[in-house]
Chain A
Amino acid sequence: MTAILDINELKAGLNGVEILKGISLCIQPGEVHAIMGPNGSGKSTLSKVVAGHPDYTVASGEILFHGEILTDIPPDARARKGIFLGFQYPVEIPGVNNSEFLRMAYNARRKEKGLEELDPFDFQELLADKMKLLDMDARFKDRGVNEGFSGGEKKRNEILQMAVLEPSLAILDETDSGLDVDALKIVSKGINALRKPDNAVLLITHYQRLLDYVQPDYVHVLAHGKILKSGKKDLAREVETRGYDWVTG
């Protein structure tokens, strides 16, 4: 079976500074992986490199998505192939209507799959269903993308986008930060609803609490640009109890 994501000895950085110092990670269909790690360990860098952020450069190693090497593929093409990045700090884009933007993104993905574009009326129905799942007020769809949203609303909007786009691989970068318990439950419900045998989720988090709601199959501890320890879900609880020093030494 071809892995959804297969990272081999990846070294990458920003502005000439190496941040990822040889990462290997393999995610099979149906799996949820969690990456934990202290601040500055390279968690967000990993998510941006996989998503294809143009500021980051890959020095060596490779990233395969469904067996295809991603290195020279631009971020929009990666997204259309089914990679989704849930941002730690989603940007506000005033003037770009949330639902119109989502419809464009949704149709770009459909076009990639060789499907016909969905007309605005059908899309509104689909969006309404997804918003219900995330307990989102209908007025959010008519606002500018993330414009004036609270921290929690922005994160919920990220999960809404994920729910609409139905990616093959969802990388969620600290989606739990800034969420209160109720919002965390709703967001987790959205993530769990997406879990299917043919897709995968990579959760990036500081804390165990998200993993109480979204059960990972594997947990990795990232520090100093390397995965220092991997294990099953119990590893997260152990890290929570013993701290990162236990792993990083």
Chain B
Amino acid sequence: MIATTQFMRRELTPEIPEGLLSAFEAIPENPTASALRFAAWQAFANRGIPQTSDEEYSFTSISEIKNLLSRIPGNHSGNGFAVTNADRLEQFPLTSSSTPEAMVSAWKKIASEEKDVASALAMALTPQSIALRLKAGKKLETPFPIVCKAKGSRTDAAMYLQLDAGSTAKISLASEVVREDYLNASASFYLGEKAELDLAQIDPIAGSQTLKLHFVLERGAKLRLLTASTGGRFQRLAIEVDLMGSDAEVDLRGAAVVGGVNRCHRHVVVRHHVPDCISRQLFKAVVLGSGRSSVDGTVIVDRGAQRTDAKQLLRHLMLSKEGKADSKPRLFIHADDVKCGHGATVGKMDPEQLFYLRSRGLDPEAAISLLTHAFLAEALDASALTDFREAARLRLLAALEETP
């Protein structure tokens, strides 16, 4: 291992701070965990800290992401992900030799192919990554909460969850970060044949976060994701979905209210590798004050992924002149028998809808509030995690009222 890190040290580019490699080296080695961490580090080093020329960061401040990723983790150690009440899921600390080999190698493959540098760093720098598994046919009906917490100025976090064939789960994922702190997290999900996952994720109320959610879906698997955010100093969510088995379905919905000077960025890539899969992306964000929101969504249909049905809609509602919003919907289609559609809108409130409500006696504040709720409802309402969804709705509505 020492030879490997010495090699890495020689490979360091000026953009990769030496302190990061030192932090990486400081984590005690372990036969299972180190293989993953080395693969992730190599993936990170291949790309380095993001540069202005990196298209996937085109709507974000490069200096900000550089500063965050270059922050040196303290020796608070530990994984940002905390899984309590784990008796409902099998839990394997990656340092344990009992972790099934197949899970380790699947995760390692994800790490070695990771193109998102923040996610690669999260997997490389997390000392005690967690692998979780829900056994075949098991059902997790009551939502299973996973919390990801920043424990200092920088915390890295990494987890892997495998849903075996035919299992179903409802999971909520919430982050806790205080003002100046930074959380860099990576969570990978493997959905076996006909497995179903309802995941609801909410960004921290403050601070900075880069979070990567990666999903692999096998034949007939179904994923429904709700992501909610009110932004923070810098918050970026990257979602990557690989549809690997036919008849798999994915429904991604995002709702955000970004006010004050908050930042909220979404980067989504859905890849149809095989025929007969369905994907939906609906991201909505309300921008107030000097808030800044971006949604960069891509659908890739591989050659041979015939009869793909993919739709993507990215919508921003601007409630201020000072705010900024960017939407970038993209389709790359390499098959000829597909049904794909995409659209993006950035606009103000519809004046005719506003007049209609006012003509019934609703004052402007109530009418705007009702229309804003309605704008977000389409993204929020589909989630099966009703309690979490309602909590997210309340958070978003509170953010609407906080920004003048």
Interface residues of A (CB under 8 A from B): 51-55, 74-76, 79-80, 84-85, 87, 90-91, 93-96, 101-102, 104-105, 108-109, 112, 144-145, 161, 165
Contact = CB atoms under 8 A, between A and B. Distances in A.
Q: Is the interface of B mostly helix, strand, loop or mixed?
A: helix
Interface range, B side: 20 to 34
A76 B356 contact: no
Most chain A CB neighbours (cut-off 10 Å) among B355, B366, B370: B355
A79 B361 contact: yes
B373 A95 contact: yes
- Most chain-B CB neighbours within 10 Å: which of A76, A80, A87, A109? A76
B362 A108 contact: yes
Interface in B319-378: 350-353, 355-364, 366-367, 370-371, 373-378
A79 B359 contact: yes
Contacts of B351: 54-55
Given A104-B362, A108-B362, A112-B361, A91 B356 contact: yes
B356 A90 contact: yes
Contact of A101 (B352, B357, B363): B357
19 contacts: A51-B359, A55-B351, A76-B362, A76-B364, A87-B356, A87-B359, A91-B350, A91-B353, A91-B356, A93-B371, A94-B374, A94-B378, A95-B376, A95-B378, A104-B370, A105-B360, A105-B361, A108-B362, A108-B363
Contact of B357 (A55, A93, A144): A93
Given A76-B361, A80-B361, A101-B360, A53 B355 contact: yes
Nearest to A89: B352
Contact of B360 (A55, A94, A144, A161): A161
Given A93-B356, A95-B377, A95-B378, A104 B366 contact: yes
A54 B355 contact: yes
Interface in B65-79: none
Contacts of A75: 355, 358-359
Contacts of B371: 93, 96
Contacts of A165: 360-361
